[in-house]
Amino acid sequence: MIGATVHHAAQTPGAWANLREAPESIAAFIEEVVRLDGPATGNLRRTTRDTELAGVRLPEGSTVSLLWGSANRDEAEFPEPDRFVVDRPNIKAHVGFGLGKHFCLGAALARMETRVAVDALVRATEHATLAVEANTLRHKPSLMIRRLQSLPITLD
């Protein structure tokens, strides 16, 4: 989550300086990163009884794949879902930390850690630029977790 946030802040023109000048905007920036590029993209569930979801019958014992990364691009909830928009009125309505009784216990800690790390980085430096071509960045191969294998950036 820290890596993804630094990545977005480094590649969005003006973002690094904006975050430094308005540190109160860091929290919303992070939420939009979690919605669009968050580390938790999916998980599995098993149905404990026959049920139905959106008109689809699911017998007891079915394996259901939750895709939070897809739900976070629901255009009914987030207009222009693929755009990075830091002033969405419902900026925290994403499910990047899950939902309901399994909502992430560590969400407050993860949000705080990321805010503190990004705040320290933008204060300590003027610019951040990707040190490699953007199209050479690779994510770890995983259906459940999205994270960069490495993020070479130049801070000055």
Q: Which stretches of the chain bind ligand HEM, using CB under 6 A?
A: 1, 38-40, 43, 68, 96-98, 102, 104-106, 109-110
Q: For the chain, how big is the Rg over CA atoms in Å?
A: 18
Between 51 and 129, CB nearer to ligand HEM: 51
CB of 15: closest distance to ligand HEM in angstroms?
A: 20
Between CA 71 and CA 77 the distance in angstroms is 9
Between 57 and 101, CB nearer to ligand HEM: 101
CB of 45: closest distance to ligand HEM in angstroms?
A: 7
CB of 77: closest distance to ligand HEM in angstroms?
A: 17
Contact 72, 96 (CB under 8 A): yes
Residue 46 corresponds to which amino acid? R
Between CA 19 and CA 74 the distance in angstroms is 27
Instruction: Give, to the nearest 10 degrees, the angle between helix 2-11 and helix 26-37.
Output: 100
Tokens of 118: 């990004």
Q: Of the candidates 82, 80, 46, which has an alpha carbon nearest to the alpha carbon of residue 66?
A: 46
CB of 126: closest distance to ligand HEM in angstroms?
A: 27
Between 29 and 68, CB nearer to ligand HEM: 68
CB of 110: closest distance to ligand HEM in angstroms?
A: 3
Between 39 and 86, CB nearer to ligand HEM: 39
Between 12 and 43, CB nearer to ligand HEM: 43
Give me the residue whose beta carbon is nearest to ligand HEM. 106
∠ CA 5-11-29, nearest 5°, is 35
